[in-house]
């Protein structure tokens, strides 16, 4: 099942971990903003609800743009870092020095699943490969822009669930509380899915995500939000 077009787009351009973090960020941003701006409903009623929805969407759109830009910059930085390693390997005085540069990059990931001879052979092969390749300059690629767009879209899309209760419930403060519950439920779902992918207990991870959201809601209500 492909899912909604926007989610399919995100799946195409972002890995599961990145999607989870973007959705989590968007939900927390939406929840925090709606809770903090809830006082508008108390003072302005239905008109305040309309302003709240516009402000929430605008806030998430702004953060989506910022997050998308950060994604592109992060991809550029990562490629520049790899280019620096490749340049170091090319400039290394001997094979041992070149292997050490490669080992510094990969040891943390490979030590738990390989032995020393296997890693040394792999690192020597990588070093030889880096010396023979022509390393392209660091520039913005299409996939960077698509990944940045997907990141921004996920953050912005998280403002949509917050708006749904206001479309069906006339009482603004009740609609706000239903919106909060809906967002908290989504936090649990995100945590549950994260737990499944991390081979942790999904219910435990989902509950942890949910408890953070509940604590935020409780503190805001206690302060009059």
Could you please report the per-residue DSSP string of 45-107? HHHHHHHHHHHHHHHHHHHHHHHHHHHHHHHHHHHHHHHHHHHHHHH-SSHHHHHHHHHHHHH
Work out the number of other CB atoms within 10 angstroms of the CB of residue 142. Answer: 7
Confidence at residue 102, expressed as pLDDT on a 0 to 100 scale? 92
Q: Domain spans of the chain?
A: 13-65+157-222
Summarised one tens digit per residue, pLDDT across range 48-66 is 677 777 777 888 899 899 9
Give dist(CA 67, CA 79) in Å, integer: 19
Question: Per-residue pLDDT averaged across 43-48, rounded?
Answer: 63
Which of 78-92, 130-144, 168-182 is the least confident region? 168-182
Confidence at residue 1, expressed as pLDDT on a 0 to 100 scale? 37
User: Sign of the CA dihedral 98, 99, 100, 104?
Assistant: positive
Question: Per-residue pLDDT averaged across 18-36, rounded?
Answer: 82
Query: What is the three-state SS of 127-146?
Result: HHHHHHCCCCCCCCCHHHHH
- Reduced to 3 states (helix: H, G, I; strand: E, B; else coil), residue 115 is coil
Whole-structure pTM over 0.75, yes or no? Answer: yes
pLDDT band at 68 (very low <50, low <70, confident <90, very high): very high
Whether pLDDT at 177 is above 90: no
Which of 60-64, 93-97, 214-218 is the least confident region? 214-218
């Amino acid at each position: 099942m492909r899912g909604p077009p926007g989610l399919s787009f995100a799946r195409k351009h972002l890995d599961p971990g990145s999607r989870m973090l973007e959705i989590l960020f968007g939900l927390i941003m939406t929840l925090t903003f709606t809770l903090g701006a809830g006082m508008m409903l108390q003072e302005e009623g239905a008109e305040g609800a309309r302003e709240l929805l516009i402000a929430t969407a605008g806030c998430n759109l702004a953060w989506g743009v910022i997050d998308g830009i950060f994604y592109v910059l992060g991809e550029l930085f990562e490629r520049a870092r790899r280019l620096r390693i490749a340049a170091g390997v090319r400039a290394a005085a001997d094979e041992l020095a070149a292997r050490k540069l490669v080992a510094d990059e990969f040891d943390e990931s490979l030590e738990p699943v390989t032995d020393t001879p296997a890693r040394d052979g792999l690192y020597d092969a990588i070093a030889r490969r880096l010396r023979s390749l022509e390393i392209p300059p660091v520039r913005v690629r299409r996939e960077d822009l698509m990944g940045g767009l997907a990141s921004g879209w996920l953050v912005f899309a998280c403002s949509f669930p917050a708006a749904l209760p206001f479309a069906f419930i006339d009482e603004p403060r009740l609609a706000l509380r239903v919106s909060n519950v809906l967002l908290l439920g989504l936090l649990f779902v995100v945590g549950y899915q994260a737990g499944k992918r991390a081979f942790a207990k999904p219910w435990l991870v989902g509950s942890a995500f949910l408890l953070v959201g509940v604590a935020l809601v409780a503190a805001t209500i206690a302060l009059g939000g």
